[in-house]
Every structure is written in C-alpha cells, then in structure tokens.
C-alpha cells in the first residue's frame, strides 16, 4: 500500500485513475417495497450486465463506462447510434470482463490519454484477467501514456 501511495504522489490527483467492474442485475426487483399488501412470490431474475467504471482521484473526470453484455447487437440498440450514447459496449457469452476486453480497454485508455497529451496512473484490483493482460500489454507493445498498478 505504501508503494501505491508513493507512486500516486508523483501524479496530480486529476491524473490518478481508478477502474473497477460491477454487475448490474437490471431485471431484479427490490427486496423491500412500501407496499401494504404482500405480493406474489417467484424466482428472482438474474439477467445482468457488467459495468467497468473509471474515475480520477479528485472526481473531476468520469470516463465513458464500458458495458459488457451477452448480445453482439442487443435489440435495445437496434435504432440507436451507439456513438451518441457515450458508452463503450462489448459482448461475450459470460458478460464478464475478460482478458481480451481488458486489453482492449487498456489500449483504448492509452490512446485517449495520448490524444490529450497526458500521462496517467491507472489503479486496478488484482483480478487475474487484469494482471495477465497488463503483463502482456506492457511487454513489447507497451502503453506509452498509462502506467498500471
């Protein structure tokens, strides 16, 4: 932890980024309600997507969320231009962050920071998909504007 703190001290807070994933169970009904009558029971819907959210240390910048779903072309996007949504959508069967999607994310972030002429520190958790891709990407074709810890 001391290593991360000393490394983060070398960067301005606006250039220290954190990315993490979370699941969104978009069909799940609430556990509790304000209803006065009991509702009928049933199975809980487990339809979910994964969101990868990135923010800087001072909270002044929130990057486009990465949404990972199951379908290549979801019906909800049928007549919508995805570029106008300000999200990055990816898909795979499990709807999880995979090593390949993580590699794509790292290259996307590096290109974005290169265009802004910024050097940033990206903090990630120790999820195995992150670690493997970080090792692969930081090899011969390393990231020029993003340092990953």
16-50 pLDDT per residue, tens: 999 999 999 888 877 777 766 666 666 777 788 99
Global pTM reads 0.82
4/106 Cα distance (integer angstroms): 19
Domain boundaries, the chain: 2-27+46-148
pLDDT tens readout for residues 55-66: 999 999 999 999
Query: What is the phi/psi pair of residue 77, to 5°?
Result: -100, 10
Q: Of all residues in the chain, what percent carry a pLDDT higher than 70?
A: 85
140 pLDDT tier (thresholds 50, 70, 90) = very low
Residues present in the chain in total: 149
Q: Which residues in 14-33 are b (16+ Cβ under 10 Å) and which e?
A: ebbbebebeeeeeeeeeeee
pLDDT at 51 over 90: yes
Q: 51 vs 149, which has greater pLDDT?
A: 51
Amino acid 138: pLDDT: 60
Amino acid 136: pLDDT: 64
Q: What angle do CA 71, 68, 73 make, to 5 degrees?
A: 25
Residue for token pair 């006065």: 36
């Amino acid at each position: 932890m001391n290593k991360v703190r000393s490394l983060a001290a070398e960067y301005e807070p606006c250039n220290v980024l954190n990315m993490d994933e979370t699941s969104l169970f978009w069909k799940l009904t609430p556990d509790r309600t304000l209803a006065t009558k009991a509702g009928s029971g049933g199975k809980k819907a487990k339809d979910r997507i994964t969101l990868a959210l990135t923010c800087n240390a001072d909270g002044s910048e929130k990057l486009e969320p990465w949404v990972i779903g199951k379908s290549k072309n979801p019906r909800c996007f049928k007549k919508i231009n995805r570029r106008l949504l300000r999200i990055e959508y990816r898909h795979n069967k499990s709807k999880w962050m995979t090593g390949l999607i993580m590699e794509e994310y790292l290259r996307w972030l590096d290109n974005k920071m290169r265009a802004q002429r910024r050097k940033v520190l990206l903090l990630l958790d120790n999820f195995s998909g992150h670690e493997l891709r970080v090792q692969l990407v930081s090899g011969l074709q390393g990231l020029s504007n993003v340092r990953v810890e």
